[in-house]
C-alpha cells in the first residue's frame, strides 16, 4: 500500500519544494504499523490539493517574500548587494587579510552580481567570516582552519601565496632596489611568500619609475624640438628604462625561484617562459642578460610536473648557454674574472643534474618495459606465446602401393629399427606405430645447443642444451591406419642458458618450453591453450645490475631464437615422417 500511495505523495511534495513534508511521509511509510490513507481521487498528494494548487500556493508565498525584500534572490536580502561591501571588509583586520587573494575577490565579484549563488561558497571559512562582518558581527578563523578547508576542497580555488600581511610588509620599501634586496634576504631565510611579495612590489615600483622617466624624456624631447640629445639610447629609449627592463626580468626570475620553493611549478614555469621570451627583445643599452638560469628553473618546474622530456630539452639549453658564457669569460681573461669560477660551477652542476635526469628517465623507461613484460607473463601463464609449425595428419595419395613403415636414420645403435613388412600385411583397422622419441630428443638438444643471441649492449646469451636430457618429456610417434599416416609429437623441456655480460659477469639460468605439440603453434600473445609457452628462470644475481635487467627486457628475443631451433627440429622430424617415394 505504501509503495503506491506513500511514495507518490513523497514524490509530489518533493516536486512542490516541500521537502520536510516529503521526508515525514517517507519516515511514516517505514513504520511497521503504518496504514496508508487513501489520497483523494486524481490528486495523489494526500493533502486534498492537486500538485498545481500546491505549486501555485508556494509561488504566491515566494512572491510575497520577495516583495518584502527578504527572498534569496533579493538584492536587499543579500549582504553583497551594497556597492561598498569590499570597502566594509577592508576596514576590519580579520577580513582585510583576504582582499589580496584573487580567488576571494573573484568570489565576491560573482556574489555581487548573483547573490543567489552564496550557498555554494558557504563551506569556505573566509566567506562565512565575510558575511558575518557584513551583517555586523565577528567570526574568528584561524590559519589552521583555512589550511584544513583548503585540504578538504572547501576553498574552491587555492589561496594565493602572497596574502595581505606579506603585501603590507613589502609596501614598506620605497625603491625597487630596496624591495629586491629585502626579497633576496627573505628568500635566503626561506620566507618564500614574503620574498615573492617583495619581488612583486619591486616590479610595481619599477613600472612606476620607468613610466615617470619615459614621460620626463618625452617632455624633454618636445622642449628640444623632438630631439633629446644625450638623454636617450640609440633607438630613443632612456638608459634608465633599458636597465629597468633588465631588472624586471631579474625580478621575474627571482619570483620563479620563490614559486619553486612554494611548490607552485605551474607559476614557476610561466615566469621562466616570460623571461625567455622577453630576454631577446631588451632595449638597446640594457646590460646582457644570461637566460641559462631561466631555462634551468623552467627545467626544475617541468620536472616537478612530470614533463621529463621537456625538462631535458630545457636543461640542454641551459647547459649550452652557461658553457657559452664561460667560454666568453675565459676568452676575455676569465681567470681573473670573478664570475668565471661561479659560472664553471654552474655548468658542472647543470651537467650533473642533466645526467641524473637522463638516468631517471631511462630508469622510468626500464621500469615501464619490465612492467610490460611482467604483465604479459602474468596474464599468459608468465610466458610468451606464438605461432609455429603444426604438422597435420598426412594422407597418402595412393593407398594401394606397398610401402615400408618409416625408417630412422642410423644415429645410434639404440634407435628402433624400421620394419620391411609391407603396409597391406596388416589387417584393416590395425594401427601401425613407430616411435621416434629418442631420435627427436637428440635432434632437439643438438639444435638448441646452437642458439646464440646478441643483445644491443653487446652481451651474448647462449643455450646450453637440454637440462638432464633423460628427465625431459619429449615424444614423437608416427601412426599408420588403413593407409593414412599421422605424426604426433609433444615437447615439455627445460633448457639451460648462459650469458656473458659486457661487465664481465657470467649469468646462468633455465628456461622452460612446453605446450608444444602437433595441435599448438608458435604465436606470441596467443591463446595459452593453442600456443607454445615459454618461461624464463633466473637466479637472484641477475637482478643485481643493469646487465641482468637487459636479459629480462629482451627475453622475447631469447624465446624467438629458441623457438626457431625447436621449429627446425620439428621440420626435420616432418621430413623423417614422410613415406618413402
Q: What is the CA radius of gyration of the chain?
A: 42
**Strands 506-517 and 533-538, how do they pair?**
antiparallel
Per DSSP, the residues of 196-258 read HHHHHHHHHHHHHHHHHHHHHHHHHHHHTTS--TTTS-TTS--HHHHHHHHHHHHHHHHHHHH
* Residue labelled with grid coordinates 553583497: 80
| CATH superfamily of domain region 394-577 | Activator of Hsp90 ATPase Aha1, N-terminal domain (3.15.10.20)
pLDDT at 276: 92
Strand (E) or helix (H) holding 40? none
Per DSSP, the residues of 49-108 read S-HHHHHHHHHHHHHHHHHTT-STT-TTT-TT-STTHHHHHHTSHHHHTTTT-HHHHHHH
Count of Cβ atoms closer than 10 Å to residue 143 Cβ:
9
pLDDT at 422: 43
pLDDT tens digits, residue range 31-62? 555 555 544 444 455 556 776 777 777 777 66
pLDDT at 234: 39
pLDDT at 73: 47
pLDDT at 416: 43
C-alpha cell at 423: 603396409
Rounded to 10 deg, the angle between the 125-134 and 143-152 helix axes is: 130
Strand partners, 536: 511
pLDDT at 21: 62
What is the Cα–Cα distance from 168 to 314, expressed in whole angstroms?
36
CA neighbor of 514 nearest in space, from 375, 373, 391, 382: 382
pLDDT at 8: 59
472 and 492 in contact (C-beta within 8 Å)?
Answer: yes
This prediction's pTM: 0.44
User: Distances from the Cα of 229 to the Cαs of 168, 234, 238, 284, 429, in angstroms?
Assistant: 41, 11, 11, 16, 120
Q: 353 phi and psi, to 5 degrees? A: -65, -40
pLDDT at 152: 72
532 Cβ neighbours under 8 A, 6+ residues apart: 385, 386, 388, 513, 514, 515, 516, 520, 521, 522, 523, 563, 566
Checking 540-544 for CB contacts under 8 A at 24+ apart, the result is: 541/505, 541/507, 542/507, 542/509
- The residue ranges of the chain whose pLDDT is under 50 are 1-4, 38-43, 68-76, 220-239, 334-337, 381-426
What is the Cα–Cα distance from 82 to 108, expressed in whole angstroms?
12
pLDDT tens digits, residue range 352-380? 777 787 788 788 888 888 887 777 666 65
162 and 171 in contact (C-beta within 8 Å)?
Answer: no
What is the Cα–Cα distance from 243 to 220, expressed in whole angstroms?
20
Cα end-to-end distance, the chain, whole Å: 90
pLDDT at 281: 86
Give residue 135's Cα distance to chain centre: 47
Per DSSP, the residues of 259-287 read HHHTT-HHHHHHHHHHHHHHGGGPPTTPP
* Per-domain boundaries in the chain: 5-67, 85-160, 394-577
pLDDT at 256: 92
What is the Cα–Cα distance from 462 to 454, expressed in whole angstroms?
9
Give residue 349's Cα distance to chain centre: 27
User: Distances from the Cα of 151 to the Cαs of 251, 258, 310, in angstroms?
Assistant: 31, 22, 30
- Tell me which DSSP letter residue 544 carries: G
Cα–Cα–Cα angle for 153, 154, 158, nearest 5°?
Answer: 60
pLDDT at 365: 83
pLDDT at 257: 92
447 and 566 in contact (C-beta within 8 Å)?
Answer: yes
What is the Cα–Cα distance from 512 to 558, expressed in whole angstroms?
12
pLDDT at 429: 57
Strand (E) or helix (H) holding 438? helix 437-448
Amino acid at each position: 500500500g505504501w509503495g503506491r500511495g506513500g511514495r507518490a505523495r513523497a514524490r509530489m511534495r518533493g516536486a512542490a519544494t516541500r521537502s520536510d513534508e516529503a521526508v515525514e511521509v517517507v519516515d511514516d511509510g517505514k513504520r511497521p504499523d503504518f496504514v496508508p490513507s487513501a489520497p483523494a481521487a486524481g490528486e495523489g498528494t494526500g493533502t486534498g490539493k492537486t500538485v498545481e494548487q500546491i505549486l501555485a500556493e508556494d509561488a504566491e508565498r515566494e512572491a510575497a517574500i520577495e516583495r518584502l525584500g527578504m527572498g534569496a534572490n533579493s538584492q536587499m536580502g543579500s549582504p553583497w548587494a551594497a556597492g561598498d561591501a569590499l570597502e566594509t571588509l577592508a576596514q576590519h583586520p580579520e577580513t582585510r587579510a583576504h582582499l589580496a587573494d584573487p580567488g576571494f575577490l573573484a568570489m565576491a565579484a560573482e556574489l555581487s552580481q548573483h547573490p543567489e549563488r552564496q550557498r555554494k561558497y558557504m563551506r569556505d571559512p573566509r566567506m562565512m567570516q565575510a558575511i558575518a562582518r557584513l551583517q555586523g558581527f565577528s567570526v574568528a578563523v584561524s590559519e589552521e582552519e583555512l589550511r584544513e578547508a583548503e585540504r578538504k576542497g572547501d576553498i574552491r580555488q587555492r589561496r594565493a601565496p602572497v596574502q595581505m600581511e606579506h603585501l603590507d610588509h613589502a609596501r614598506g620599501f620605497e625603491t625597487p632596489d630596496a624591495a629586491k634586496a629585502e626579497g633576496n634576504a627573505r628568500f635566503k631565510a626561506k620566507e618564500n611568500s614574503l620574498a615573492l611579495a617583495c619581488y612583486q612590489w619591486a616590479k610595481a615600483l619599477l613600472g612606476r619609475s620607468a613610466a615617470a622617466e619615459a614621460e620626463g624624456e618625452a617632455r624633454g624631447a618636445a622642449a628640444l624640438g623632438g630631439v633629446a640629445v644625450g638623454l636617450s639610447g640609440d633607438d630613443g629609449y632612456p638608459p634608465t628604462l633599458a636597465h629597468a627592463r633588465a631588472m624586471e626580468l631579474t625580478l621575474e626570475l627571482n619570483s620563479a625561484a620563490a614559486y619553486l620553493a612554494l611548490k607552485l611549478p605551474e607559476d614557476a614555469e610561466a615566469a621562466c617562459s616570460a623571461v625567455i621570451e622577453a630576454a631577446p627583445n631588451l632595449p638597446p643599452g640594457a646590460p646582457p642578460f644570461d637566460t641559462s638560469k631561466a631555462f634551468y628553473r623552467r627545467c626544475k618546474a617541468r620536472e616537478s610536473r612530470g614533463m621529463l622530456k621537456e625538462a631535458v630539452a630545457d636543461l640542454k639549453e641551459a647547459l649550452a648557454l652557461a658553457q657559452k658564457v664561460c667560454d666568453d669569460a675565459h676568452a676575455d681573461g676569465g681567470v681573473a674574472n670573478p664570475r668565471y669560477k661561479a659560472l664553471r660551477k654552474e655548468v658542472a652542476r647543470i651537467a650533473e643534474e642533466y645526467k641524473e635526469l637522463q638516468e631517471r628517465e631511462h630508469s622510468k623507461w626500464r621500469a615501464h618495459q619490465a612492467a610490460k613484460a611482467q604483465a604479459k607473463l602474468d596474464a599468459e601463464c608468465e610466458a610468451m606465446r606464438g605461432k609455429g609449425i603444426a604438422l597435420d595428419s598426412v594422407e597418402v595419395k595412393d593407398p594401394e602401393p606397398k610401402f615400408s613403415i618409416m625408417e630412422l636414420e642410423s644415429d645410434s645403435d639404440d634407435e628402433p629399427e624400421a620394419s620391411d613388412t609391407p603396409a597391406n600385411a596388416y589387417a584393416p583397422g590395425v594401427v601401425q606405430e613407430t616411435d621416434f622419441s629418442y631420435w627427436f630428443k637428440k635432434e632437439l638438444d643438438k639444435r638448441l645447443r646452437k642458439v646464440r643471441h646478441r643483445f644491443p649492449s653487446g652481451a651474448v646469451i647462449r643455450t646450453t642444451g637440454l637440462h638432464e636430457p633423460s628427465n625431459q618429456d619429449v615424444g614423437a610417434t608416427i601412426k599408420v591406419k588403413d593407409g593414412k599416416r599421422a605424426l604426433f609429437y609433444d615437447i615439455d623441456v627445460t633448457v639451460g642458458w648462459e650469458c656473458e655480460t659486457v661487465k664481465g659477469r657470467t649469468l646462468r639460468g633455465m628456461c622452460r618450453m612446453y605446450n608444444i605439440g602437433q595441435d599448438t603453434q608458435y604465436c606470441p600473445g596467443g591463446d595459452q591453450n593453442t600456443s607454445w609457452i615459454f618461461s624464463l628462470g633466473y637466479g637472484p644475481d641477475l637482478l643485481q645490475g643493469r646487465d641482468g635487467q637487459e636479459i629480462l627486457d629482451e627475453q622475447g628475443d631469447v624465446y624467438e631464437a629458441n623457438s626457431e631451433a625447436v621449429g627446425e627440429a620439428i621440420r626435420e622430424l616432418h621430413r623423417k615422417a614422410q613415406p618413402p617415394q
